Structure 1
Amino acid sequence: MVGLSADRRSAVAWILAEAIMRFRCGKSRAFPCWQAAALSGNAVADDDLELVSSFIISVFGRPNAVQSGDTKEKKGKSNHLEGFVAEWLWHLIMKEQQASHRVRQYLSEPSYSVTEQGEDGFVVYAPPGANTSLFFRLWEIKKHNTENSVVTATVQRASDQLNIRGLQYLAKLTSAHRQTDGDLGSLFAELGDLWINADPRAGAGVGVATNTVTPPATCFSPLESTLDQFADAGQLEGLLCVIENFTEFANEVRRMVWSAL
Protein backbone atom coordinates (compact mmCIF):
# COMPACT_ATOMS: atom_id res chain seq x y z
CA MET A 1 0.00 0.00 0.00
CA VAL A 2 2.47 2.56 -1.23
CA GLY A 3 1.41 5.57 -3.27
CA LEU A 4 -2.32 4.88 -2.99
CA SER A 5 -4.73 7.78 -3.17
CA ALA A 6 -6.62 8.75 -0.04
CA ASP A 7 -9.79 7.20 -1.49
CA ARG A 8 -8.10 3.86 -2.15
CA ARG A 9 -6.54 3.79 1.33
CA SER A 10 -9.97 4.50 2.78
CA ALA A 11 -11.44 1.69 0.69
CA VAL A 12 -8.92 -0.78 2.13
CA ALA A 13 -9.56 0.53 5.64
CA TRP A 14 -13.29 -0.04 5.13
CA ILE A 15 -12.70 -3.63 3.96
CA LEU A 16 -10.83 -4.29 7.21
CA ALA A 17 -13.36 -2.49 9.41
CA GLU A 18 -16.29 -4.37 7.89
CA ALA A 19 -14.53 -7.76 8.09
CA ILE A 20 -13.55 -7.13 11.71
CA MET A 21 -17.08 -6.20 12.73
CA ARG A 22 -18.65 -9.08 10.81
CA PHE A 23 -16.38 -11.47 12.70
CA ARG A 24 -16.79 -9.84 16.11
CA CYS A 25 -20.58 -9.61 15.94
CA GLY A 26 -21.13 -13.17 14.74
CA LYS A 27 -24.82 -13.80 14.08
CA SER A 28 -25.95 -11.03 16.41
CA ARG A 29 -28.16 -8.32 14.96
CA ALA A 30 -25.40 -5.93 16.03
CA PHE A 31 -23.58 -6.35 12.71
CA PRO A 32 -26.41 -5.25 10.38
CA CYS A 33 -27.16 -2.39 12.79
CA TRP A 34 -23.53 -1.29 12.73
CA GLN A 35 -23.14 -1.74 8.97
CA ALA A 36 -26.27 0.21 8.07
CA ALA A 37 -25.28 3.08 10.35
CA ALA A 38 -21.67 3.19 9.13
CA LEU A 39 -22.72 3.20 5.46
CA SER A 40 -25.32 5.90 6.01
CA GLY A 41 -23.01 8.13 8.02
CA ASN A 42 -25.44 8.15 10.93
CA ALA A 43 -25.10 6.78 14.43
CA VAL A 44 -26.96 3.63 15.40
CA ALA A 45 -30.30 4.12 17.12
CA ASP A 46 -30.13 4.79 20.85
CA ASP A 47 -31.84 1.45 21.52
CA ASP A 48 -29.04 -0.37 19.67
CA LEU A 49 -26.05 1.60 20.96
CA GLU A 50 -25.34 -0.50 24.04
CA LEU A 51 -25.44 -3.76 22.08
CA VAL A 52 -23.28 -2.55 19.19
CA SER A 53 -20.76 -0.91 21.52
CA SER A 54 -20.26 -4.18 23.39
CA PHE A 55 -18.59 -5.65 20.30
CA ILE A 56 -16.32 -2.64 19.81
CA ILE A 57 -14.98 -1.20 23.04
CA SER A 58 -12.75 -4.09 24.18
CA VAL A 59 -10.43 -3.51 21.20
CA PHE A 60 -11.18 -0.03 19.88
CA GLY A 61 -12.37 1.75 23.01
CA ARG A 62 -15.00 4.49 22.94
CA PRO A 63 -14.70 7.47 20.59
CA ASN A 64 -15.42 10.02 23.31
CA ALA A 65 -13.50 8.39 26.14
CA VAL A 66 -11.17 10.64 28.12
CA GLN A 67 -7.60 9.92 27.05
CA SER A 68 -4.92 9.48 29.66
CA GLY A 69 -2.16 12.08 29.71
CA ASP A 70 0.39 9.31 30.17
CA THR A 71 2.37 9.20 26.92
CA LYS A 72 3.62 5.68 27.65
CA GLU A 73 0.05 4.44 28.18
CA LYS A 74 -1.12 6.07 24.94
CA LYS A 75 1.74 4.45 23.05
CA GLY A 76 0.80 1.06 24.49
CA LYS A 77 -2.80 1.43 23.33
CA SER A 78 -1.62 2.52 19.88
CA ASN A 79 0.68 -0.49 19.65
CA HIS A 80 -2.18 -2.83 20.52
CA LEU A 81 -4.39 -1.30 17.82
CA GLU A 82 -1.68 -1.54 15.18
CA GLY A 83 -0.90 -5.13 16.13
CA PHE A 84 -4.59 -6.00 15.87
CA VAL A 85 -4.85 -4.41 12.41
CA ALA A 86 -1.66 -6.21 11.33
CA GLU A 87 -3.22 -9.57 12.25
CA TRP A 88 -6.32 -8.76 10.23
CA LEU A 89 -4.27 -7.69 7.22
CA TRP A 90 -2.48 -11.04 7.32
CA HIS A 91 -5.76 -12.93 7.70
CA LEU A 92 -7.44 -11.28 4.71
CA ILE A 93 -4.34 -11.72 2.54
CA MET A 94 -4.24 -15.42 3.44
CA LYS A 95 -7.91 -15.79 2.49
CA GLU A 96 -7.15 -14.39 -0.96
CA GLN A 97 -3.95 -16.36 -1.55
CA GLN A 98 -4.02 -19.13 -4.12
CA ALA A 99 -1.17 -21.36 -5.27
CA SER A 100 -0.91 -24.32 -7.61
CA HIS A 101 1.23 -26.36 -5.21
CA ARG A 102 -1.20 -26.34 -2.27
CA VAL A 103 -4.86 -25.92 -1.39
CA ARG A 104 -5.88 -24.27 1.87
CA GLN A 105 -7.95 -26.54 4.13
CA TYR A 106 -8.08 -24.44 7.29
CA LEU A 107 -7.34 -20.85 8.31
CA SER A 108 -7.42 -19.79 11.95
CA GLU A 109 -9.64 -16.91 12.99
CA PRO A 110 -8.03 -13.72 14.30
CA SER A 111 -7.95 -13.14 18.04
CA TYR A 112 -11.02 -11.52 19.57
CA SER A 113 -8.94 -9.77 22.22
CA VAL A 114 -5.96 -7.54 21.49
CA THR A 115 -3.69 -9.29 24.00
CA GLU A 116 -5.04 -12.84 23.70
CA GLN A 117 -2.38 -15.49 24.27
CA GLY A 118 -1.67 -18.04 21.56
CA GLU A 119 -0.83 -18.24 17.90
CA ASP A 120 -1.29 -15.20 15.66
CA GLY A 121 -2.03 -17.29 12.60
CA PHE A 122 -2.29 -20.93 11.62
CA VAL A 123 -2.94 -22.42 8.19
CA VAL A 124 -3.43 -26.00 7.03
CA TYR A 125 -2.85 -27.00 3.42
CA ALA A 126 -3.18 -30.07 1.26
CA PRO A 127 -0.93 -30.67 -1.73
CA PRO A 128 -2.73 -31.25 -5.04
CA GLY A 129 -3.93 -34.77 -5.70
CA ALA A 130 -5.64 -37.47 -3.71
CA ASN A 131 -4.41 -39.43 -0.69
CA THR A 132 -1.90 -36.80 0.38
CA SER A 133 -1.07 -35.70 3.93
CA LEU A 134 -2.07 -32.31 5.26
CA PHE A 135 0.65 -29.90 6.36
CA PHE A 136 0.66 -26.67 8.39
CA ARG A 137 2.31 -23.31 8.89
CA LEU A 138 2.38 -21.58 12.28
CA TRP A 139 2.62 -17.79 11.92
CA GLU A 140 3.77 -14.95 14.14
CA ILE A 141 2.60 -11.51 13.02
CA LYS A 142 4.19 -8.23 14.06
CA LYS A 143 3.82 -4.57 13.25
CA HIS A 144 6.88 -2.42 12.62
CA ASN A 145 6.42 1.33 12.64
CA THR A 146 9.45 2.72 14.39
CA GLU A 147 12.30 4.79 13.06
CA ASN A 148 14.61 3.38 15.74
CA SER A 149 14.93 -0.16 14.41
CA VAL A 150 15.02 -2.04 11.13
CA VAL A 151 12.47 -4.54 9.85
CA THR A 152 15.02 -7.31 10.35
CA ALA A 153 14.93 -6.71 14.12
CA THR A 154 11.16 -7.19 14.14
CA VAL A 155 11.52 -10.42 12.15
CA GLN A 156 14.09 -11.57 14.71
CA ARG A 157 11.67 -10.94 17.59
CA ALA A 158 8.93 -12.85 15.80
CA SER A 159 11.28 -15.73 14.99
CA ASP A 160 12.47 -15.93 18.59
CA GLN A 161 8.86 -16.03 19.77
CA LEU A 162 8.07 -18.92 17.44
CA ASN A 163 11.20 -20.74 18.56
CA ILE A 164 10.43 -20.33 22.27
CA ARG A 165 6.63 -20.56 22.33
CA GLY A 166 5.69 -22.29 19.10
CA LEU A 167 5.21 -25.68 20.72
CA GLN A 168 2.95 -24.15 23.39
CA TYR A 169 0.85 -22.47 20.69
CA LEU A 170 0.45 -25.80 18.93
CA ALA A 171 -0.53 -27.51 22.20
CA LYS A 172 -3.32 -24.97 22.60
CA LEU A 173 -4.50 -25.67 19.05
CA THR A 174 -4.46 -29.41 19.69
CA SER A 175 -6.68 -28.94 22.73
CA ALA A 176 -9.03 -26.51 21.00
CA HIS A 177 -9.55 -28.95 18.12
CA ARG A 178 -9.87 -32.11 20.19
CA GLN A 179 -13.30 -32.81 18.69
CA THR A 180 -12.29 -32.19 15.08
CA ASP A 181 -12.67 -35.34 12.99
CA GLY A 182 -11.13 -36.71 9.82
CA ASP A 183 -7.75 -35.86 8.34
CA LEU A 184 -7.83 -32.38 9.88
CA GLY A 185 -8.45 -33.81 13.34
CA SER A 186 -5.58 -36.25 12.88
CA LEU A 187 -3.26 -33.40 11.96
CA PHE A 188 -4.25 -31.36 15.03
CA ALA A 189 -3.48 -34.39 17.21
CA GLU A 190 0.03 -34.62 15.73
CA LEU A 191 1.03 -30.95 15.74
CA GLY A 192 3.46 -31.19 18.65
CA ASP A 193 5.27 -34.24 17.33
CA LEU A 194 5.54 -32.80 13.84
CA TRP A 195 7.02 -29.55 15.22
CA ILE A 196 9.50 -31.26 17.55
CA ASN A 197 10.75 -33.48 14.75
CA ALA A 198 10.83 -30.64 12.20
CA ASP A 199 8.76 -32.94 10.01
CA PRO A 200 8.30 -31.82 6.39
CA ARG A 201 4.60 -31.40 7.19
CA ALA A 202 5.43 -28.71 9.78
CA GLY A 203 6.56 -25.17 9.12
CA ALA A 204 6.44 -21.57 10.26
CA GLY A 205 5.96 -18.08 8.94
CA VAL A 206 6.55 -14.49 10.00
CA GLY A 207 4.34 -11.66 8.81
CA VAL A 208 5.25 -8.00 9.26
CA ALA A 209 3.16 -4.92 8.60
CA THR A 210 5.45 -1.92 8.27
CA ASN A 211 5.60 1.68 7.16
CA THR A 212 9.18 1.19 5.96
CA VAL A 213 8.70 1.85 2.25
CA THR A 214 12.02 0.32 1.16
CA PRO A 215 12.75 -2.61 3.50
CA PRO A 216 15.93 -4.64 3.03
CA ALA A 217 15.75 -7.55 0.60
CA THR A 218 17.11 -9.92 3.24
CA CYS A 219 14.84 -8.88 6.12
CA PHE A 220 13.60 -12.47 6.68
CA SER A 221 17.07 -13.99 7.14
CA PRO A 222 16.59 -14.23 10.96
CA LEU A 223 13.73 -16.65 10.39
CA GLU A 224 16.04 -19.06 8.57
CA SER A 225 18.81 -18.82 11.16
CA THR A 226 16.53 -19.06 14.21
CA LEU A 227 14.35 -21.93 12.96
CA ASP A 228 17.06 -23.66 10.97
CA GLN A 229 15.67 -27.09 11.83
CA PHE A 230 12.99 -26.45 9.20
CA ALA A 231 15.40 -26.86 6.31
CA ASP A 232 13.18 -28.18 3.53
CA ALA A 233 12.15 -25.82 0.74
CA GLY A 234 8.95 -23.99 1.64
CA GLN A 235 8.90 -24.87 5.33
CA LEU A 236 9.58 -21.25 6.26
CA GLU A 237 7.60 -18.34 4.82
CA GLY A 238 7.63 -14.58 5.13
CA LEU A 239 5.02 -11.95 4.33
CA LEU A 240 5.83 -8.24 4.30
CA CYS A 241 2.95 -5.77 4.02
CA VAL A 242 4.18 -2.22 3.44
CA ILE A 243 1.74 0.55 4.37
CA GLU A 244 2.68 4.20 4.26
CA ASN A 245 1.97 5.81 7.64
CA PHE A 246 0.75 2.59 9.21
CA THR A 247 -0.24 4.31 12.45
CA GLU A 248 -2.63 6.61 10.62
CA PHE A 249 -4.02 3.68 8.61
CA ALA A 250 -4.79 1.75 11.81
CA ASN A 251 -6.45 4.86 13.22
CA GLU A 252 -8.56 5.16 10.07
CA VAL A 253 -9.79 1.59 10.51
CA ARG A 254 -10.78 2.50 14.07
CA ARG A 255 -12.54 5.68 12.94
CA MET A 256 -14.61 3.64 10.50
CA VAL A 257 -15.58 1.20 13.25
CA TRP A 258 -16.51 4.15 15.45
CA SER A 259 -18.46 5.91 12.72
CA ALA A 260 -21.65 4.09 13.69
CA LEU A 261 -21.49 5.15 17.34
Structure 2
Amino acid sequence: MAVSLSNQEAGALAWVLIDTIMQARFGPAIPLYDAWRQHTLASTQIPTPTNATIGSFVEPVFGLPGAAKSETHLLGHVGEWLWHLLTRDNPAVRVQPDPKGDVTDAGGDGFTIYESSAGTLRFRLWESKKNTGKGSLLASLNKAYQQLADSGQRYVAKIVGSFAQVPNGASDELASFIAEVPGAWVQGDELVGAGVTLATHQVLPATPFASMASKLPLLNKPGQLRGLATSINGYDELAKTVRRYAWTAL
Protein backbone atom coordinates (compact mmCIF):
# COMPACT_ATOMS: atom_id res chain seq x y z
CA MET A 1 0.00 0.00 0.00
CA ALA A 2 1.46 3.35 -1.05
CA VAL A 3 -0.05 6.71 -0.14
CA SER A 4 1.01 10.31 -0.72
CA LEU A 5 -0.26 12.52 2.09
CA SER A 6 -0.63 16.27 2.19
CA ASN A 7 0.71 18.04 5.28
CA GLN A 8 -2.84 18.27 6.64
CA GLU A 9 -3.50 14.57 6.03
CA ALA A 10 -0.18 13.60 7.61
CA GLY A 11 -1.01 15.70 10.65
CA ALA A 12 -4.42 14.04 10.96
CA LEU A 13 -2.88 10.57 10.69
CA ALA A 14 -0.26 11.48 13.30
CA TRP A 15 -3.04 12.58 15.66
CA VAL A 16 -4.99 9.33 15.16
CA LEU A 17 -1.81 7.39 15.91
CA ILE A 18 -0.80 9.29 19.06
CA ASP A 19 -4.33 9.45 20.44
CA THR A 20 -4.71 5.67 20.01
CA ILE A 21 -1.22 4.98 21.37
CA MET A 22 -1.74 7.11 24.46
CA GLN A 23 -5.17 5.68 25.16
CA ALA A 24 -3.58 2.23 25.15
CA ARG A 25 -0.64 3.38 27.29
CA PHE A 26 -2.87 4.88 29.99
CA GLY A 27 -5.06 1.78 30.12
CA PRO A 28 -7.58 2.07 32.97
CA ALA A 29 -6.08 5.40 34.13
CA ILE A 30 -8.73 7.22 32.11
CA PRO A 31 -8.59 10.53 34.05
CA LEU A 32 -4.88 10.80 33.18
CA TYR A 33 -5.59 10.10 29.52
CA ASP A 34 -8.37 12.71 29.56
CA ALA A 35 -6.02 15.28 31.12
CA TRP A 36 -3.28 14.55 28.55
CA ARG A 37 -5.76 14.80 25.67
CA GLN A 38 -7.49 17.97 26.84
CA HIS A 39 -4.23 19.85 27.44
CA THR A 40 -2.74 18.57 24.17
CA LEU A 41 -5.72 19.72 22.12
CA ALA A 42 -5.69 23.08 23.89
CA SER A 43 -1.87 23.38 23.62
CA THR A 44 -1.68 24.13 27.35
CA GLN A 45 0.80 22.78 29.87
CA ILE A 46 -0.25 20.06 32.30
CA PRO A 47 0.21 21.43 35.85
CA THR A 48 2.63 20.02 38.41
CA PRO A 49 2.69 17.28 39.72
CA THR A 50 0.32 15.71 37.19
CA ASN A 51 2.77 16.48 34.39
CA ALA A 52 5.35 14.16 35.97
CA THR A 53 2.78 11.39 36.33
CA ILE A 54 1.68 11.71 32.72
CA GLY A 55 5.28 12.02 31.58
CA SER A 56 5.99 8.58 33.03
CA PHE A 57 3.55 7.11 30.49
CA VAL A 58 5.12 9.02 27.61
CA GLU A 59 8.80 8.50 28.40
CA PRO A 60 9.29 4.74 27.80
CA VAL A 61 8.58 5.09 24.06
CA PHE A 62 9.11 8.74 23.19
CA GLY A 63 11.39 10.06 25.88
CA LEU A 64 10.65 13.54 27.16
CA PRO A 65 11.24 17.03 25.71
CA GLY A 66 14.99 17.59 25.70
CA ALA A 67 15.67 13.90 26.30
CA ALA A 68 14.27 12.07 23.29
CA LYS A 69 14.48 8.32 22.90
CA SER A 70 16.20 6.77 19.88
CA GLU A 71 14.68 7.85 16.57
CA THR A 72 15.24 4.30 15.31
CA HIS A 73 12.94 3.02 18.04
CA LEU A 74 10.45 5.82 17.38
CA LEU A 75 10.22 4.94 13.68
CA GLY A 76 9.83 1.27 14.49
CA HIS A 77 7.14 1.84 17.10
CA VAL A 78 5.06 3.99 14.77
CA GLY A 79 5.41 1.27 12.11
CA GLU A 80 4.10 -1.35 14.53
CA TRP A 81 1.07 0.81 15.31
CA LEU A 82 0.39 1.39 11.61
CA TRP A 83 0.28 -2.39 11.13
CA HIS A 84 -1.94 -2.82 14.18
CA LEU A 85 -4.47 -0.18 13.11
CA LEU A 86 -4.59 -1.51 9.54
CA THR A 87 -5.25 -5.11 10.60
CA ARG A 88 -6.94 -5.28 14.00
CA ASP A 89 -10.49 -4.62 12.76
CA ASN A 90 -10.52 -7.55 10.35
CA PRO A 91 -13.64 -9.54 11.34
CA ALA A 92 -11.60 -12.76 11.40
CA VAL A 93 -9.32 -11.45 14.18
CA ARG A 94 -10.04 -12.87 17.63
CA VAL A 95 -6.99 -11.62 19.53
CA GLN A 96 -4.40 -9.02 18.52
CA PRO A 97 -2.78 -7.20 21.45
CA ASP A 98 -1.57 -3.63 21.18
CA PRO A 99 2.13 -3.25 20.27
CA LYS A 100 4.63 -3.51 23.11
CA GLY A 101 4.66 -0.62 25.57
CA ASP A 102 8.46 -0.48 25.75
CA VAL A 103 10.32 -0.29 22.45
CA THR A 104 13.40 -2.03 23.86
CA ASP A 105 11.46 -5.08 25.06
CA ALA A 106 12.87 -8.22 23.45
CA GLY A 107 10.56 -10.60 21.64
CA GLY A 108 8.26 -10.72 18.65
CA ASP A 109 6.68 -7.52 17.41
CA GLY A 110 3.11 -8.80 17.38
CA PHE A 111 0.79 -11.74 16.96
CA THR A 112 -2.72 -12.45 15.79
CA ILE A 113 -5.13 -15.25 16.60
CA TYR A 114 -7.77 -15.38 13.91
CA GLU A 115 -10.40 -17.64 12.36
CA SER A 116 -9.67 -19.31 9.05
CA SER A 117 -12.31 -19.40 6.32
CA ALA A 118 -13.33 -22.78 7.75
CA GLY A 119 -13.87 -21.27 11.20
CA THR A 120 -10.83 -22.89 12.85
CA LEU A 121 -8.39 -20.91 14.96
CA ARG A 122 -4.99 -19.94 13.55
CA PHE A 123 -1.95 -18.14 14.99
CA ARG A 124 0.30 -15.70 13.13
CA LEU A 125 3.56 -14.27 14.46
CA TRP A 126 4.44 -10.86 13.02
CA GLU A 127 7.82 -9.19 12.59
CA SER A 128 7.90 -5.46 11.87
CA LYS A 129 10.59 -3.50 10.02
CA LYS A 130 11.02 0.11 8.94
CA ASN A 131 13.23 1.52 6.20
CA THR A 132 13.54 5.29 6.19
CA GLY A 133 16.85 5.67 4.40
CA LYS A 134 18.05 4.74 0.94
CA GLY A 135 19.00 1.17 1.79
CA SER A 136 17.56 -1.88 0.09
CA LEU A 137 14.02 -2.82 1.08
CA LEU A 138 14.94 -6.43 0.34
CA ALA A 139 17.70 -6.27 2.96
CA SER A 140 15.19 -5.07 5.56
CA LEU A 141 12.76 -7.83 4.65
CA ASN A 142 15.49 -10.48 4.67
CA LYS A 143 16.39 -9.42 8.21
CA ALA A 144 12.78 -9.93 9.25
CA TYR A 145 12.67 -13.38 7.65
CA GLN A 146 15.90 -14.33 9.41
CA GLN A 147 14.58 -13.20 12.78
CA LEU A 148 11.45 -15.28 12.34
CA ALA A 149 13.51 -18.30 11.30
CA ASP A 150 16.09 -17.94 14.08
CA SER A 151 14.00 -16.62 16.96
CA GLY A 152 10.39 -17.45 16.12
CA GLN A 153 10.25 -20.41 18.50
CA ARG A 154 11.54 -18.26 21.36
CA TYR A 155 9.09 -15.47 20.52
CA VAL A 156 6.23 -17.98 20.49
CA ALA A 157 7.28 -19.39 23.86
CA LYS A 158 7.30 -15.91 25.38
CA ILE A 159 3.87 -15.13 23.96
CA VAL A 160 2.38 -18.39 25.22
CA GLY A 161 3.98 -18.00 28.65
CA SER A 162 2.46 -14.58 29.18
CA PHE A 163 -0.82 -15.13 27.38
CA ALA A 164 -3.62 -13.26 29.12
CA GLN A 165 -5.72 -11.36 26.55
CA VAL A 166 -8.58 -13.80 26.18
CA PRO A 167 -12.08 -12.51 25.29
CA ASN A 168 -14.84 -13.20 27.80
CA GLY A 169 -16.69 -16.43 27.11
CA ALA A 170 -13.88 -17.96 25.05
CA SER A 171 -11.22 -18.58 27.68
CA ASP A 172 -11.21 -22.37 27.56
CA GLU A 173 -11.20 -22.50 23.77
CA LEU A 174 -8.39 -20.01 23.35
CA ALA A 175 -6.31 -21.36 26.23
CA SER A 176 -6.51 -24.83 24.71
CA PHE A 177 -5.57 -23.46 21.30
CA ILE A 178 -2.61 -21.36 22.45
CA ALA A 179 -1.17 -24.37 24.28
CA GLU A 180 -0.83 -26.12 20.91
CA VAL A 181 1.05 -23.28 19.23
CA PRO A 182 4.65 -24.01 20.42
CA GLY A 183 4.56 -27.58 19.14
CA ALA A 184 2.89 -26.48 15.91
CA TRP A 185 5.55 -23.83 15.28
CA VAL A 186 8.51 -26.19 15.50
CA GLN A 187 6.87 -28.44 12.91
CA GLY A 188 5.53 -25.69 10.67
CA ASP A 189 2.01 -27.03 11.16
CA GLU A 190 -0.81 -25.24 9.34
CA LEU A 191 -2.09 -24.10 12.74
CA VAL A 192 0.58 -21.37 12.68
CA GLY A 193 1.95 -18.81 10.25
CA ALA A 194 4.16 -15.76 9.98
CA GLY A 195 3.74 -12.21 8.77
CA VAL A 196 6.14 -9.39 7.98
CA THR A 197 5.18 -5.73 7.90
CA LEU A 198 7.34 -2.98 6.43
CA ALA A 199 6.94 0.79 6.83
CA THR A 200 8.92 3.03 4.50
CA HIS A 201 8.92 6.13 2.33
CA GLN A 202 10.49 4.32 -0.62
CA VAL A 203 8.71 3.20 -3.77
CA LEU A 204 7.47 -0.35 -3.27
CA PRO A 205 8.38 -3.10 -5.75
CA ALA A 206 5.51 -4.93 -7.43
CA THR A 207 6.08 -8.07 -5.32
CA PRO A 208 7.96 -7.02 -2.17
CA PHE A 209 7.52 -10.38 -0.42
CA ALA A 210 8.45 -12.63 -3.36
CA SER A 211 11.29 -14.38 -1.49
CA MET A 212 9.41 -14.90 1.77
CA ALA A 213 8.41 -18.51 1.12
CA SER A 214 11.96 -19.55 0.24
CA LYS A 215 13.28 -17.92 3.42
CA LEU A 216 10.68 -19.64 5.63
CA PRO A 217 10.32 -23.05 3.96
CA LEU A 218 8.60 -24.70 6.95
CA LEU A 219 5.68 -22.33 6.54
CA ASN A 220 4.93 -23.06 2.88
CA LYS A 221 1.34 -24.23 3.11
CA PRO A 222 -1.46 -22.06 1.70
CA GLY A 223 -2.31 -19.11 3.91
CA GLN A 224 0.65 -19.46 6.27
CA LEU A 225 2.58 -16.39 5.08
CA ARG A 226 1.44 -12.78 4.86
CA GLY A 227 3.12 -9.47 4.12
CA LEU A 228 2.04 -5.87 4.57
CA ALA A 229 4.15 -3.09 3.08
CA THR A 230 3.17 0.53 3.70
CA SER A 231 4.87 3.40 1.87
CA ILE A 232 4.09 6.90 3.14
CA ASN A 233 5.84 9.97 1.82
CA GLY A 234 7.74 11.66 4.64
CA TYR A 235 7.37 8.66 6.94
CA ASP A 236 10.15 9.83 9.26
CA GLU A 237 8.49 13.25 9.61
CA LEU A 238 5.17 11.54 10.35
CA ALA A 239 6.78 9.65 13.24
CA LYS A 240 8.37 12.84 14.60
CA THR A 241 4.97 14.57 14.44
CA VAL A 242 3.50 11.71 16.48
CA ARG A 243 6.20 12.32 19.10
CA ARG A 244 5.66 16.09 19.01
CA TYR A 245 1.98 15.58 19.78
CA ALA A 246 2.93 13.29 22.70
CA TRP A 247 5.04 16.11 24.15
CA THR A 248 2.76 19.08 23.43
CA ALA A 249 1.39 19.47 26.96
CA LEU A 250 4.51 18.41 28.92
TM score, norm. by length of structure 2: 0.92
Which letter does structure 2 place at the counterpart of 1:203?
A: G
Q: Equivalent residue for 1:8? A: 9
- State the distance in 2 between where 1:223 and 1:255 align: 36
Which letter does structure 1 place at the counterpart of 2:158?
A: K
Contact 2:208 2:229 in 1 (8 A): no
Contact 1:173 1:188 in 2 (8 A): no
Secondary structure at the counterpart of residue 46 of structure 1: coil
Contact 1:134 1:183 in 2 (8 A): no
> What is the CA distance between 1:179 and its match in structure 2?
9.7
Q: Equivalent residue for 1:120? A: 109
Deviations 1:167-222 (A, max 9, x none): 0011111111279632211121111111112111210000000010x221232123
Q: Equivalent residue for 2:81? A: 88
Which letter does structure 2 place at the counterpart of 1:244?
A: N
Secondary structure at the counterpart of residue 146 of structure 1: coil
Q: Equivalent residue for 2:146? A: 160
> What is the CA distance between 1:128 and its match in structure 2?
4.8
Give 5+ residue unaligned stretches, structure 1.
68-75
Q: Equivalent residue for 2:123? A: 136
Q: Equivalent residue for 1:243? A: 232
Contact 1:125 1:134 in 2 (8 A): yes
- State the distance in 2 between where 1:231 and 1:247 align: 34
RMSD between aligned residues: 1.8
Give 5+ residue unaligned stretches, structure 2.
none
Q: Equivalent residue for 1:175? A: 161
Contact 2:4 2:232 in 1 (8 A): no
Q: Equivalent residue for 1:73? A: none
- 2:64 corresponds to 1:48: no
Deviations 1:36-89 (A, max 9, x none): 111112121223111111101121111134x7xxxxxxxx81111101111111
- State the distance in 1 between where 2:88 and 2:139 align: 27
- State the distance in 2 between where 1:136 and 1:109 align: 16
Q: Of 37, 40, 53, which aligns to 1:38?
A: 40
Q: Equivalent residue for 2:213? A: 224
Contact 1:125 1:135 in 2 (8 A): yes
- State the distance in 2 between where 1:241 and 1:216 align: 11
Tell me which stretches of 4 or more aligned residues in structure 1 moved more than 3 Å.
178-181
Secondary structure at the counterpart of residue 95 of structure 2: strand
| Range with bigger deviation, 153-162 or 242-251 | 242-251
Secondary structure at the counterpart of residue 65 of structure 2: coil
Secondary structure at the counterpart of residue 44 of structure 2: coil
TM score, norm. by length of structure 1: 0.88
> What is the CA distance between 1:232 and its match in structure 2?
1.6
> What is the CA distance between 1:256 and its match in structure 2?
0.6
Q: Equivalent residue for 2:179? A: 189
Aligned CA distance change for structure 1 residues 113 and 197 (closer, same or farther; 3 Å): same
Q: Of 60, 63, 66, which aligns to 1:61?
A: 63
Q: Equivalent residue for 2:71? A: 78
- 2:200 corresponds to 1:200: no
Q: Equivalent residue for 1:70? A: none
| Identity across matched positions, percent | 36
Aligned CA distance change for structure 1 residues 133 and 3 (closer, same or farther; 3 Å): closer
Which letter does structure 2 place at the counterpart of 1:39?
A: L
Secondary structure at the counterpart of residue 136 of structure 1: strand
Which letter does structure 2 place at the counterpart of 1:195?
A: W
- 2:145 corresponds to 1:145: no
- State the distance in 2 between where 1:124 and 1:2 align: 28
